[in-house]
């Protein structure tokens, strides 16, 4: 029998909450719950191009491309959306908080002026240039190979710790400097200029400027790659997290996409809230965090709870299965119209319309065996390649 669930809970992975919904539509709920409590907000708004997710499924790793949900936007409706979102972000941030807004040459100027208006010109901190090194080829103008990240503070009490992302200078010689070793055994280079001796030690920390050329984009062969067209590298988000938040701080991303902010926040021991209008975003985020946790059976470790909220109705589903030695053996499964393959399966139980996951399979190839929960009325959670999902009771 099919059951309704409005949320899903995993224990032992991360302390996070993921919404299924449009940012502008759930802002009122977020502001009511988190007003003045968010330390860092990262926004990477949707691109005007049609985004997609590429998945490799099955034993032969068959590649399928799926459209990410969302209507094409015009410049006017995009700016209306962003005004709503940025106004909400200002209310969400605490007095020491920061906003990082990822944009490009098409919308950067508009968004800079909008942020000046909402956050105040005095609270502009940086225009960070991220050199992607790839993606632009033209003979009519200089190739466009960088993005811009606008950094604004909530106010003068902003928390910022650049020492958290410093790297040792290292033994690399520059200019006409001389190598030396001091009385304490520390090594470095020195140079005399205008009668003054300047020393640069190998273990001195060097901090990034506002032009970032040291963070590579996601490559086709990267283990981090999840198939999302506009996926950002975790190293990029990690740098923002380390400089503008501390462990256990709350960070937020209202355009969750491929789940990079959630993954980076979990790894850095930050609490997080993400949202996205695409069910595929929830699927990708879940898969990344489950893989990152390496927990074979959830609920055994106390790292906080990962919660998904999706008020949308479930799809219809049918399965052919049997129970063998307290395992659910699924031979066939159809979710929605049945044309899309299964990409996720879990068993657990339902408590107050919330599915509590106990055992998961993020790459199911039918037939599959999945352990049933102990001493509970079992429920199976199924998701297809379009992100459509269903919950069904399991009877002995």
- Over residues 163-201, the pLDDT tens digits come to 999 988 888 766 778 888 898 889 989 888 888 988 888
Measured CA to CA, the distance from residue 99 to residue 82 in angstroms comes to: 13
Q: Which of 123-132, 155-164, 169-178, 259-268 has the weakest average pLDDT?
A: 169-178
Residue 270 pLDDT > 70, yes or no?
A: yes
* Residue 281 parent element (H or E): helix 279-293
**Cα 207 versus chain centre, distance:** 24
Q: What value does the mean pLDDT take over residues 219-238?
A: 90
Query: 4-26 burial, b if ≥16 CB within 10 A, otherwise e?
Result: ebebbbbbbbbbbbbbbbbbbeb
Q: What is the pLDDT of residue 269?
A: 95
| pLDDT-based confidence at residue 113 (cuts at 50, 70, 90) | very high
Q: Which of 52-61, 263-272, 302-311 is the most confident on average? A: 263-272
Q: What is the pLDDT of residue 298?
A: 40
| pLDDT-based confidence at residue 46 (cuts at 50, 70, 90) | confident
- Over residues 275-333, the pLDDT tens digits come to 999 999 999 999 999 988 764 444 444 457 999 999 877 889 999 999 999 999 999 99
Q: Tell me the angle at which helices 108-119 and 75-92 cross, rounded to the nearest 10 degrees.
A: 30
Q: What is the pLDDT of residue 396?
A: 65
């Amino acid at each position: 029998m099919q059951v309704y669930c409005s949320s899903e809970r995993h224990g032992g992975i991360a302390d996070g909450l993921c919404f299924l919904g449009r940012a502008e539509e759930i802002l009122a709920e977020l502001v009511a719950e988190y007003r003045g409590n968010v330390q860092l907000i990262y926004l990477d708004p949707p691109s005007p191009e049609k985004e997609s997710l590429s998945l490799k499924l099955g034993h032969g790793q068959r590649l399928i491309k799926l459209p990410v949900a969302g209507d094409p936007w015009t410049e006017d409706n995009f700016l209306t959306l962003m005004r709503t979102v940025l106004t909400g972000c200002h209310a969400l941030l605490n007095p020491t908080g920061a906003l990082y807004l990822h944009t490009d040459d098409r919308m950067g100027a508009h968004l800079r002026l909008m942020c000046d208006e909402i956050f105040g010109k005095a609270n502009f901190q940086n225009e960070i240039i991220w050199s992607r090194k790839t993606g632009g080829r033209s003979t009519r103008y200089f190739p466009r190979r960088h993005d811009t990240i606008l950094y604004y503070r909530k106010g003068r009490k902003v928390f910022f710790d650049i020492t958290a992302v410093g790297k040792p200078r290292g033994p690399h010689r520059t200019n006409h400097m001389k190598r030396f070793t001091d009385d304490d055994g520390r090594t470095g280079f020195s140079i005399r200029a205008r009668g003054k001796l300047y020393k640069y030690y190998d273990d001195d920390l060097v901090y990034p400027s506002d032009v970032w050329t040291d963070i590579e984009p996601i490559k086709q062969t990267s283990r981090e790659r999840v198939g999302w067209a506009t996926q950002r590298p975790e190293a990029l988000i990690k740098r923002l997290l380390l400089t503008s938040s501390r462990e256990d701080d709350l960070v937020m991303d209202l355009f969750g996409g491929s789940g990079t902010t959630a993954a980076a926040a979990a790894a850095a021991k930050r609490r997080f809230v993400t949202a996205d209008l695409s069910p595929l975003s929830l699927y990708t985020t879940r898969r990344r965090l489950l893989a990152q946790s390496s927990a074979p059976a959830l609920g055994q470790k106390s790292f906080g709870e990962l919660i998904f909220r999706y008020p949308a109705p479930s799809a219809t589903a049918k399965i052919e299965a049997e129970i063998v030695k307290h395992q659910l053996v699924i031979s066939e499964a159809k979710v929605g119209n049945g044309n899309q393959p299964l990409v996720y399966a879990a068993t657990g139980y339902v408590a107050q319309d919330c599915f509590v996951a106990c055992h998961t399979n993020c790459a199911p190839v039918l037939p599959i065996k999945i352990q049933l929960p102990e001493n509970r009325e079992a429920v199976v959670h199924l998701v297809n390649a379009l992100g459509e999902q269903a919950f069904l009771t399991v009877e002995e």
